[in-house]
Amino acid sequence: MGIGPTALDFNNGVVCRPVVQSESRKAHIHVYVDAIDIKDKSFIDSLKLPVLIFRAPYIFNFSNIPSPDSYYDLYAANKKILYGDIIDTERIKFKLEPYDTYNIDHDKIWNDFITLDRKDQEGHKHAGVNFTVPESGIYCVYIAPPDNQGIINIRVPVKFENEYGNLPYLYYKQKYDLNWPVAIGILLLFKLSRYIRKVTGKDFKNVSQLSMVSWIILIYILIPFIAIVIFQKLCLDLSNIISCSSLNSILLRIVELIEVWFFTWVGFIFALFSIGLGVFFNSEHLDRILTREAEDEEEPKISMLVLFFLVNLIVDFLVVIIQSSPPKFPFYLGLVTEFEKSRGSWTALMVATLDFIYLCFRVVWWILPAGYLLKIKLLIPSIPPSSKLDFDSYQQSSKLLRLTVWIVMLLPVTIGSLLLAFDSYNRSTLEMSIPKLPQPGSESRKIVYDLAIKFWKQEIDQLSPGVNDGDPWYFWIYMIVFVITFLLIWIKNNKGVALGQDDDDSIEYNEFSGKYNQSIRLCDLS
């Protein structure tokens, strides 16, 4: 979700969001009264609206200020009861009573009233507030419009302005980190292009001598990967400079969706590649021309694979969309936390079901190619050597397939485990810096205590480098390592399934199928 303006009103009087401050001191929170709908219009000019801005974990310092969720519920249900203990009716501001021996640092909060912008000096002075955020953290804004002056509704926009722009910090980190996969991807493309030019010649006349693995890596994986990360960066750059929250939200959903879809695409392409090798090694001869009979053997598998792929795309779309649905607590904006876990029994069940289906698809794309490749590896010893492939070639082929199976099976687990360990270490180290709060002496203080600890942990999750970076970095590292390892194993070793012609190979037109049949062989590309 973007960090565009949020409008509070007579039904919702609180909002909390992460804000990042730096030495530039550009980060601020802007609050003002935009419109008032009131029964007696003569009260508009004299209406004063108390506003409180504070850093969320410091809720523990107050003895009388309710937590954001309690404030949200009481504000909508009964303002008179809510205001009784927290509003100073004479000074028209919040009463801040420190808890126990805690002090309230008034330089780090804003507690005053605002009005509609009027021409007189007093009205203009309180027309709004531009609160300079003293330090990075999660900040909450409470408003308390009078409940006894006939207000029907009120609109109070709240703009959280980070020092770098409008993106949530997690997406800003992703935008900044995208420079690495873009640079490495372009470098790999350059190296692979040089290799292809070396194999095929300057004019690409001998393109038939190029390994099929090279084509798969270049055309179906590397180039789309570079295009996607560049497109993601453009979307994040655009989202960072615009303040329209709805457009921001759409752009961020697109960034997430194309990343998830590309993961599915890679699994699909690699599964097709594995089936193709299966056709090749199941042939009676290694240089066998693919006929309609061979195609018919694999058509049901490929058709099912295509259907599986399309269904997976739909599931991916639903998962991304439902994750962006409104949370139960609309005041915790920009926070992906346990605060948002409770939505509704039906929605929660739908989310859990889609997440489970999504996980099942990921497991299938993980196991399927490895299973095909392992089957091929077991078939190799049963194929007798021919005049074109001696025993050493068989051994080399078996080695390459074994390494490929290990890559497919272990690469996702290894990268995921390393990133999880890195994230857990950074998180645990940072959590040691959380202030030691005194144990609560009552049930009401325990609620505030637990909430303060949650806010501290949320600040670590949302605003700390090296924490919560797993998803984008997993995608980038997996794709880059995947490409590099395949280049080293299949191409650097000069072995690969290739399309081509030699003295015994031919391309012939099959009148029955209406297709050209081309020879496939495992060839030495040196």
512 or 295, which is more confident? 295
Q: Which of the four pLDDT bands, split at 50, 70 and 90, describes residue 184? A: very high
User: What is the CB neighbour count within 10 angstroms for residue 521?
Assistant: 19
Helix (H, G, I), strand (E, B) or coil at 258: helix
Total residues found in the chain within this entry? 526
Helix (H, G, I), strand (E, B) or coil at 22: coil
Check residue 54 and give its pLDDT.
94
Lowest mean pLDDT among 32-41, 121-130, 385-394: 385-394
344 or 402, which is more confident? 402
Check residue 207 and give its pLDDT.
54
Cα 509–chain centre separation = 48
Distance CA(170)–CA(148), nearest Å, equals 42
Q: Which of the four pLDDT bands, split at 50, 70 and 90, describes residue 229? A: very high
Please check the confidence at residue 154 and state whether its pLDDT lies above 80.
yes
Check residue 390 and give its pLDDT.
52
The string over 350-379, giving b where at least 16 C-beta atoms fall within 10 Å of a residue's C-beta and e elsewhere, is ebeebeeebeebbeebbebbbbbbbbbbee
Rg (CA), the chain: 31
The tokens for 428 are 């645990």
Check residue 332 and give its pLDDT.
66
Check residue 299 and give its pLDDT.
65
Distance CA(69)–CA(410), nearest Å, equals 44
Q: Are 53 and 68 in contact (CB under 8 A)?
A: no
Q: Phi/psi at 101 (nearest 5 deg)?
A: -95, 10
Please check the confidence at residue 287 and state whether its pLDDT lies above 80.
no
Q: Are 195 and 214 in contact (CB under 8 A)?
A: yes
The tokens for 23 are 């030495």
Beta-bridge mates of residue 159: 30
77 or 399, which is more confident? 77
Beta-carbon contacts of residue 241 (< 8 Å; ≥ 6 apart): 165, 166
Please check the confidence at residue 313 and state whether its pLDDT lies above 90.
yes
Q: Phi/psi at 297 (nearest 5 deg)?
A: -65, -35
Residue with tokens 């509070």: 8
Average pLDDT over every residue of 1-14? 74
330 or 294, which is more confident? 330
Please check the confidence at residue 134 and state whether its pLDDT lies above 60.
yes
Helix (H, G, I), strand (E, B) or coil at 262: helix
The tokens for 207 are 């393109």
Lowest mean pLDDT among 41-45, 368-372, 376-380: 376-380
The CA angle 357-362-367, to the nearest 5 degrees, is: 125
324-352 pLDDT, tens digit per residue, is: 665 555 566 655 444 444 445 666 777 78
Q: Are 222 and 215 in contact (CB under 8 A)?
A: no
Helix (H, G, I), strand (E, B) or coil at 111: strand
Which amino acid is present at 521? Answer: R
Counting other chains too, the contacts that 351-358 makes at CB distance below 8 Å and 24 or more residues apart are 351/322, 351/323, 354/315, 354/318, 354/319, 354/322, 355/319, 357/315, 358/315, 358/316, 358/319
Distance CA(17)–CA(332), nearest Å, equals 6
Q: Are 492 and 395 in contact (CB under 8 A)?
A: no
Distance CA(42)–CA(150), nearest Å, equals 11
Distance CA(113)–CA(360), nearest Å, equals 54
Check residue 393 and give its pLDDT.
61
Counting other chains too, the contacts that 395-399 makes at CB distance below 8 Å and 24 or more residues apart are 396/493, 396/495, 397/495, 397/522
- pTM to 2 decimal places: 0.76
Q: What's the chain's average pLDDT?
A: 77
Distance CA(521)–CA(285), nearest Å, equals 10
Using CA atoms, how far residue 60 sits from 37, 53, 460, in Å, is 35, 14, 18
Check residue 372 and give its pLDDT.
78
Please check the confidence at residue 23 and state whether its pLDDT lies above 70.
yes
Please check the confidence at residue 152 and state whether its pLDDT lies above 70.
yes
Q: Judging by DSSP bridges, how do beta strands 110-114 and 6-8 pair with one another?
A: unpaired
Nearest to 457 by CA among 433, 473, 439: 433
Check residue 355 and give its pLDDT.
84
Distance CA(156)–CA(27), nearest Å, equals 19
The dihedral built from the CA positions of residue 361, 363, 365 and 371, taken in this order, carries a sign that is negative
Distance CA(449)–CA(214), nearest Å, equals 58
Distance CA(400)–CA(52), nearest Å, equals 65
Task: Express as a percent the part of the chain with pLDDT over 90.
Answer: 15
Helix (H, G, I), strand (E, B) or coil at 401: helix
Q: Are 278 and 375 in contact (CB under 8 A)?
A: yes
DSSP secondary structure string, 229-246? Answer: HHHHHHHHHHHHH---HH
Enumerate the domain spans of the chain: 6-161, 169-524
Please check the confidence at residue 75 and state whether its pLDDT lies above 80.
yes
Q: Are 372 and 279 in contact (CB under 8 A)?
A: no
Q: Which of the four pLDDT bands, split at 50, 70 and 90, describes residue 401? A: confident
498-523 pLDDT, tens digit per residue, is: 444 444 443 333 333 333 333 334 43
